[in-house]
Each structure stands twice: as structure tokens, then as C-alpha cells.
Structure 1
Amino acid sequence: MKIIALYAGGPRITHTKTTELHSGISKQTTSRLQVTKETIQGDGVALTAYHGGPDRVVCFYSREHYGTWEAEYGKQMQAPGVGENLLTEGMLESDVCIGDVYQIGNTMLQVTQGRVPCDTISKYNEMPNLHLRFAETGWTGYFMRVLSEGEITLESRVTLLERNPNACSVLEANRIFFHEKKNADSMQRLLCSNGLAKVWQDRIEERLLEL
């Protein structure tokens, strides 16, 4: 597990060849992130319904996915293409579980949910329906809450400190959340994942009541 790049930046107007976006997706490279329990210094989001808040302070995405999307769409995808704060290697959605606690530098972070992809990802990268492919594959990236504040640098070591042996991987959690909306057993299993973001807990409980 290692950090490839760090990014931060607040919402701004970004122009593509076909549209104008007001979003926090367009972040700038940085050598360090100053992380608190509420935010990252110099970072911000536009759509607070899907990003930000204490359960979604830090966004991760895997470098391994970039090559897949580039091959599928036949064009280069420039990082940070999904507004991630950390571009990593060896931390795929299948490797990381809801509730995992990581030491990164002098911070302590906990995995809370997969990222919910919106069409801003497709528009920003000029790759039609990329956000739908994110949801189909489960390669969405994921969020972490901050348990212990501090600083993350490019040299920071990533160490898994704690994992519940019964926890859902982020890939499993994404499959349940996006595709198994009528599967009570799967949803109950995800609800039992310690550390799950409250917004996902609430949504799953609503779906269970609707069955």
C-alpha cells in the first residue's frame, strides 16, 4: 500500500470542451494534506449531499483503475480525475473494508463508504457514462473519516491497524448499495459493518422498511 499523489482544492468553475462545471472535482497537486475531523485544509466540495462532512473527509482512488478506463474509452484520463485527495496503489475496493482503521503519517482514518458517482465525473473527464461504469464495476473510490487529526505527506507510510473479520469490503458494500436494494440479508450484513457512514445506514434502513 502506498501513496502516489496528494490533491486538494475547493469548488470552482471548470470548463471542458462541451460544458461548464461548478465543482470541487478539479483539485491541485500538493505535497501534504493537513487533516482535521471536519475537513482538509484548502479542500472543499460543491455537492454536500454526496461529499464532505465528518464521515467523508478524505477521498481515495486507486491508480490501478486509470489504465482500465483509458483502455475502455481510448483516451488518457488525467489524475485527479475523480476529485480524489489520495491517489493510491495497492488499496483497491476489494482490498479495503468498511470500518478498516489506517495509520497514515500521524493521522488515523476509518473507511466509511464507497463514493457515490455522479455525472460530474463523466462530464469532467469527457467520458460518456463513466459514472455509470463506476457504479457497475464498484470501482468508485471511497471515503474515510478522521479519527486522529494530523498531516499526510507523500512519504507517509500506510498501515492497516484494525479490521473486523466480518466486515464488507468496499466492493461488496458498493454491490449491495447500488445493486441489491431488495436483498434484505445483504443489506443487514452491510448495516452490521462497524464504521459505516450514517447517510448509508439511514438509506439502507429506509430500504428495509420499504420491503
Structure 2
Amino acid sequence: MRLNSLNTGRVHSLLIDGRSHASGIRKAPREGRIAVAPLGLEGDEQADLSVHGGLSKAIYAYPQAHYAFWQTVRAQAKAAGWDEPLAPGALGENLTLDGLVEQDVWVGDVLRFPDCELAVSEPRQPCFKFNAVMGFNQAAKLMSQSGWCGFYLAVLTPGTLQAGEAFALVPGPREVNIAELFRARRRRD
């Protein structure tokens, strides 16, 4: 398993239906080693701390494996001419991961990197801002239907991360995986 891209972003204004919304969803790849603290990555910000950020949702990870799907559906939706390849971080993730998808990740699992450890805490719940950055109004619905939501991580051991690093998955208690928890929460909504 590998960290393909390490992405951060600052809070900015996102125009949705003529209204301005503060958002930190736009992330861009970073070079070099980045500090990892209990509240996340150096240089990264979240706008709405009621749903993003904090100790249990300090870092958001997303599987690289799903990028082809999102590229295809964006092109089919003819999303404002957005047929260029999606850059890492385009789904709002801090970590773009290779070799790990939601059904293989359980709450409490640990991602062990050479200089830090991150614990899987919960799935991401898509919102209207995801529609805006993807360029079409059905993006959040498609994330809900596919279950390709990614997952949040808590920082167990602060340190540093760098794109290209390999990591190991250390199994946790294996009570509920991210895909199951995501589906259960979506049924309640």
C-alpha cells in the first residue's frame, strides 16, 4: 500500500447557486515531508468544524482506485467542460491512497507510516459542496449509491508524511468496516 499524493488546502470562498460558502474542500498536492499534528496536516484547513476536522477527523483519505469512476461520470454529466483528468486531492482528500478501499478498512484499523500512525475513525458523508467541486449536482448522490466515500483518520502518533511512502495496515478490532458503516448511516438519513 502506498501514499500516492499528500494534499492540503486553505479555506476559500466557493460559489454555489449564486451564494458564497466557506470551504476547504479544494486540496492540491504537496511536495516534501509535511508535519502531521493531532488536528491534521500542516497547511491544511477546514471551514466547517462541525462536520470536518477535529481529533477524530483530522485527516481524510480517499482511494486512488475510484478516480477513474469519477472521471467518467463527470465527463458523462458534461460538467462545465470538466473533462480534464482529476488531480489528486480533487475529492477533498488529504491522502490519495493506492491499495486500500473502503470494504477493506475497519474502524480502529491503523495506517502505519514510517514516521506516524493514523487510526481509521469513520466514513465521509458527502455534502452539497462535493457537488460543486465535481461540477454536477448528482455527485453526492453517486457517492452515496456507490459507497466510495473514503474515510477519516485520527492521528495516533504525530510525525511527518511524504507522497510516495509505503504504509502498512494494522488490523483493529474488526467490528464494522467503513463500507458497512457508511451504508448504515445512509439508511438512517
Question: TM (normalized to structure 1)?
Answer: 0.78
Corresponding residue of 1:175:
183
Structure number with greater Rg is: 1
Matches of 1:155 and 1:66, distance apart in 2: 18
Question: Which whole-Å CA distance do the structure 1 matches of 2:66 and 2:55 have between them?
Answer: 26
**Amino acid in structure 2 at the alignment position of 1:41:** E
Letter aligned with residue 176 of structure 1: A
Task: Compute the displacement of 1:107 (Å).
Answer: 0.5
Instruction: Pick closer, same or farther for the CA change 1:158–1:78 going to 2, 3 Å.
Output: same
Instruction: Name the structure 1 match of 2:42.
Output: 41
Change (3 A) 1:73 1:83: closer
Distance in 2 separating the partners of 1:11 and 1:133: 25
Q: Which has the higher helix share?
A: 1
Shift of 1:133: 1.2
Matched, 1:135 2:135: no
Instruction: Find the counterpart in structure 1 of residue 100 from structure 2.
Output: 91
Using the TM superposition, name which of 87-96 and 14-23 deviates more: 14-23
Q: TM-score, normalised by structure 2?
A: 0.86
Residue identity (%): 24
- Let me know the Cα RMSD of the aligned residues: 2.1
Correspondence for 1:126 among 129, 135, 142: 135
Contact 2:25 2:91 in 1 (8 A): yes
* 3-state SS of paired residue (1:123): helix
**2:24·2:45 contact (CA, 8 Å) conserved in 1?**
yes
Which gives a bigger RCO, structure 1 or 2 (Cα 8 Å, sep 6+)? 2
Unpaired runs of 5+ residues, structure 1, are 183-211
**Matched AA of 1:140:** C
The one-letter code matched in structure 1 to 2:41 is: I
Deviation digits for residues 5-59 of structure 1, max 9, x if unmatched? 1111220124689775421011221123311112321111011111000000111
